[in-house]
Chain A
Amino acid sequence: MSKRVAIVGIGTTGFRATTPDVSYRELTYEAAMKAYLDAGVEPKDIDSFVATSEDFFEGYSIADEYSPDQLGAVLRPIYTISGDFIHSLASAYMMILSGIGPISVAQGMSKASNMLTLSEMVTFAMDPIYNRPLKESPHAVSGMEMARFMYETGTTREQCAKVVVKNKRNALNNPYAGHGVLIDTDYVLNSEVISYPLTQMDISPHSDGAVVVVLAEEETAKALCDKPIWIRGIGWCSDTPGLETRNWAEAIYAQMAAEMAYKMAGIRYPRKEIDFAEINDEFSYKELQHLEAMRICKKGEAGPLTEIGGTEITGEFPVNPSGGCLGVGNLYELNGGHKVFEVVRQLRGEAGKNQLKNVTTGLAQSWRGIPTTTGTVVILSN
């Protein structure tokens, strides 16, 4: 790679189950102000903007047209990606590499609390001819995937429950997290069955919030800040959408996205060369499945590693020290934004009580949720 690009500014509102005091405009405005202040830039200094939104989640068709105002991007180069935040980050990264200008911005926002018929909206994402007439709950999909993953890897419900306990406890020490709580594995195992083996506590509750990230090419980055966080590798991938034909045990999309990012970063042994990860745990088993897909664990190893505390903040390979989706909340298209925000905080040494010691490289991974098979990965170093 000829040019290096760094994250030079991050801003967020924090993440809460509801945000009745602000509209989506003020939500992003707050995150953008903080990110620009953090980077020491003003909107006029920014060469291009990439926003993230999903029309059905926003409740507007062509929701992207409502992106410019709150980013300071009126009459400026901006477009919106209907995908995960990390797709937008990749796009903002490419803006710099392609010579559009030295500074770009990626934005994401969640107003999940405003969606009153969330389950219907997710069902609406299923194939209208093959799947929708059967009227399955979205959690039928996650339950079936969990069952097949457990069968093929020997993972237990207890190990999945341990993920929930760990992440919700980590969230208690994260001032930005909205769903921290101290519980034990029995509490998770005995919570209401949704689609066995999936229980209520295996599912991450939704959250509102916004994240804005400022990127800059090497020279600008060094001039702007003392702690640039370098993008070393980035990848994204989508599997076939069919529920009937996908691989139900393995997250191939995460594997391919990670391999793309590893290749760019020159990483051969992710477990050794990466210090920690913020990865998608929208459902408890997803953390384990994604760890194995990205070669951080061998097949069937993520559960036992979690069981012995290997993925705790004090463990050998900390996973979701922020509290993950289970502790912070499911942010839909913003999920990747929260992951990136947290990896940057850790690499800067700004993660407070959850700060990991001596970390130089972190991985942020996201997934677009039920019923998708799309994943994104970014590797960051300080």
Chain B
Amino acid sequence: MEITKKMVEKTATKLSAEEILGGKVLSVKWEPKLKYAWDNGPAIGRYLAELKNGKIIAKKCDKCHRIMIPPRMFCELCWVPTGEWVYVKDTGIVNTWIVGYVDWKAKRLDIKGGVRPITPGIIEIDGASKGMGILHHLGEVDPWKIHRSMKVKAVWKPPEERTGSITDIKYFKPTK
């Protein structure tokens, strides 16, 4: 059976945002306080510590010889503990990216008003195995001029501002 406009008008009560926000509709609000302090373990722990030093570190699997970033204590494919730590470069190439008109909370960006679209991408890091990389933002580039396999380099925060976080890298910018 088709639901007609008439049927909706007869049976449904329309609510406006004002009625809801004004408390005229029965509602319950609950803001959960969910706080966690995740233990990093040796792999994530050293990765973050090295970011604070302005370096990117990977770990090598002695069986499949992949140089893996982010580093991990075991190779998920070979099922063996990983071997040596390997510093990789802070340069790489763009694997895939977007030109984003909405932010992470799905809020529309004022692009017409001059706000730059956001441009997150996957960067395959030089020195790591193929397909191994970092999700980060691309900056100092016209969003529409980003291209596949574009060469990029990390732009770091000044040492005193680094906290041991992926945001110690501000973004990746094209290399000349």
What residues of chain A have their CB less than 8 Å away from a CB belonging to chain B?
19-26, 29, 42-43, 56, 59, 68-70, 72, 74, 111, 113-117, 120-121, 124, 128-129, 132-133
The residue from B30, B32, B35, B73 contacting A25, defined by CB atoms under 8 A apart:
B73
Min CB distance B26 to A, Å, is 9
Q: How far is the CA of A275 from the CA of B102 in the complex (A)?
A: 62
Segment 19-48 of B: residues with Cβ below 8 Å from A: 28, 30, 32-44
The residue from A25, A42, A59, A111 contacting B34, defined by CB atoms under 8 A apart:
A59
Contact B28 A23 (CB under 8 A): no
Kindly list chain B residues whose C-beta atoms are within 8 Å of the C-beta of A121.
Answer: 32, 34
Q: How far is the CA of A111 from the CA of B38 in the complex (A)?
A: 8
- Interface size class of chain B, counting residues whose CB lies under 8 Å from the partner chain: 20 to 34
Q: How far is the CA of A72 from the CA of B42 in the complex (A)?
A: 19
Min CB distance A112 to B, Å, is 11
Interface centre among B38, B40, B76 (most CB of A within 10 A): B76
The residue from A19, A42, A120 contacting B32, defined by CB atoms under 8 A apart:
A120
Contact B79 A72 (CB under 8 A): yes
Kindly list chain A residues whose C-beta atoms are within 8 Å of the C-beta of B28.
Answer: 128-129, 132-133
Segment 49-101 of B: residues with Cβ below 8 Å from A: 72-74, 76-77, 79
Contact A22 B41 (CB under 8 A): yes
**Chain A to chain B contacts (Cβ below 8 Å), 15 pairs:** A19-B39, A20-B39, A21-B42, A22-B41, A23-B39, A23-B41, A59-B38, A74-B77, A114-B39, A115-B35, A116-B37, A117-B35, A121-B34, A124-B30, A124-B32
Contact A69 B76 (CB under 8 A): yes
- Asked if A114 meets B38 with Cβ closer than 8 Å, knowing A23-B43, A132-B30, the reply is yes
- Asked if A56 meets B34 with Cβ closer than 8 Å, knowing A23-B39, A25-B72, the reply is yes
Contact B38 A128 (CB under 8 A): no
Kindly list chain B residues whose C-beta atoms are within 8 Å of the C-beta of A68.
Answer: 76
Kindly list chain B residues whose C-beta atoms are within 8 Å of the C-beta of A111.
Answer: 38-39
Contact B76 A74 (CB under 8 A): yes
Min CB distance A76 to B, Å, is 11
Kindly list chain A residues whose C-beta atoms are within 8 Å of the C-beta of B32.
Answer: 120-121, 124
Q: Which residue of B lies closest to A126 (CB)?
A: B30
- Asked if A29 meets B73 with Cβ closer than 8 Å, knowing A23-B43, A128-B28, the reply is yes
Interface centre among B33, B43, B74, B79 (most CB of A within 10 A): B79
The residue from B38, B76, B77 contacting A23, defined by CB atoms under 8 A apart:
B38
Q: How far is the CA of A23 from the CA of B37 in the complex (A)?
A: 11
Min CB distance B33 to A, Å, is 5
Contact A124 B38 (CB under 8 A): no
Kindly list chain B residues whose C-beta atoms are within 8 Å of the C-beta of A59.
Answer: 34, 36, 38
Min CB distance B73 to A, Å, is 5
Q: How far is the CA of A121 from the CA of B30 in the complex (A)?
A: 12
The residue from B36, B39, B74, B77 contacting A21, defined by CB atoms under 8 A apart:
B39
Min CB distance A43 to B, Å, is 5
- Asked if A70 meets B30 with Cβ closer than 8 Å, knowing A21-B41, A23-B44, A116-B36, the reply is no
Contact A117 B38 (CB under 8 A): no
Contact B30 A114 (CB under 8 A): no
Kindly list chain B residues whose C-beta atoms are within 8 Å of the C-beta of A22.
Answer: 39, 41-42
Min CB distance A212 to B, Å, is 13
Q: Which residue of A lies closest to B79 (CB)?
A: A72
Min CB distance B17 to A, Å, is 21
